[in-house]
Structure 1
């Protein structure tokens, strides 16, 4: 997944690759929350359709019974890891206390997640009918779901209020996702690297909790990275694709880039 990022000196594009399934789910959640937030702020019926699609995807992704428990375990693990930094010379105690307090606050919000309200959203007849027809290509045309079409004709502010109401039970999960990914991304700094003839590979210490690989390139660069890897190693192929109608090919040039290996 590519996300915009800013270097101190120039505009860059950051490509990210998760190194475990837990971070993969967090990145997908972040993507969906960003999609829904953007769509809810829009005024057209197409924005409302996009917001509902994001909502359905969020409900599907968070539907596992153990999902809430997994988030709590990860938050608690980060809290324990950061608390050990008190023993490290030079650590700014006030900053550390602030982050730990934020983790405790989000843990409390996730504990307080209203499961009944979330299940009520899942069982809403109006949403269920749209979701079912959404599985059919073009299945939410105006003649398929007149109730949905009627809702789309209402004022944008009314639709936005309904969407926020349905999204409200998910907000603790959004806050947990945002905090965890921020902690992961801030756990390491960019380092300059060279991919010889468009290829770079690195082994990882299996004893360290590596979470995420980030590759930073200047905006407007003609190349993009294809990243693969897991717990023990990762590799990066820098590809060129000037015409999307043709297959991408690996660059034969040495490619300078910035690499961030996030471990926490």
Structure 2
């Protein structure tokens, strides 16, 4: 079990989309580890959300631009004293490999073919209707869910295969961003912390790390171009509104900029 809990706040739209994709890939991966019909429903829900999120034609280009930006930034580190050249070369090779996969194997036509599959399209149209995927609404889905779990998972993997290069790119980009800063200890006085952001660097992500034992409160992070603020809230009863903690709270903070 993890000894810490991490809360993250993206600082631009591109990172926000990447974090959502990471979440969806994790949801689908978890759902396909079990053969129950409800897990298959969860996997389909993740697939439809992913299709909606990546529906813009320029998404492939945005991934390539982000990978290229990291490659250029890291290449400049060669001139920095103390940089481990072998590690840097390994990371640059990984960026190059993933960029090549995106360029040659992330085929928007193949993704569109998944989107336009009659079976998936019929279910997707009911996706935003409350309870719209129940058995009388989509009998084809009910029929599919009666099949053996191994067969359903094989179908799911076929539909997800075109997204494999995207998944690699998302994992690599977010890893590079998270590894760009080491969490440092901070204190939120009376449940509040505020700090300015260096506008000369490319700020990407704020990470707040708490001990798993600090379960009485959670951070609410708000950020702009020049500063961010963290309010630690208490909500012992989820039926009641959360209120700001008046305690001094120890936490670790990482401002990721790369």
**TM-score for both structures, normalised by structure 2:** 0.97
Confirm or deny: 8 A CA contact 2:57 2:108 kept in the other structure: no
Task: Report Cα offsets for 1:39-78 as digits up to 9, x if no partner.
Answer: 1111110000000000000011111011111110010000
1:224 is paired with a residue of what secondary structure? strand
How many residue pairs match? The answer is 256
What is the Cα-based RMSD across aligned positions, in Å? 1.0
Q: Please give the alpha-carbon distance, in whole angstroms, between the structure 1 residues aligned to 2:56 and 2:110.
A: 16
1:213 is paired with a residue of what secondary structure? strand
2:18 is paired with a residue of what secondary structure? helix
Q: Where do residues 98-137 of structure 1 align in structure 2 (5 Å cutoff)?
A: 98-112=90-104, 113-137=106-130
1:235 aligns with 2:229: yes
1:188 aligns with 2:177: no
Name which of structure 1's ranges 112-121 and 52-61 shifts more when overlaid on structure 2: 112-121
1:134 is paired with a residue of what secondary structure? coil
1:64 aligns with 2:73: no
Task: Report Cα offsets for 1:225-256 as digits up to 9, x if no partner.
Answer: 00010221110000111111111111111111
Residue equivalent to 1:166: 159
Q: Please give the alpha-carbon distance, in whole angstroms, between the structure 1 residues aligned to 2:190 and 2:137.
A: 54
1:227 is paired with a residue of what secondary structure? strand
Confirm or deny: 8 A CA contact 2:208 2:251 kept in the other structure: yes
Work out which of the residue numbers 34, 37, 42 in structure 1 matches 2:29: 37
Moved over 4 A (4+): none
Residue equivalent to 1:219: 212
Gaps of 5+ in 2: none
Residue equivalent to 1:208: 201
Q: Please give the alpha-carbon distance, in whole angstroms, between the structure 1 residues aligned to 2:237 and 2:167.
A: 37
Confirm or deny: 8 A CA contact 1:15 1:225 kept in the other structure: yes
**TM-score for both structures, normalised by structure 1:** 0.95
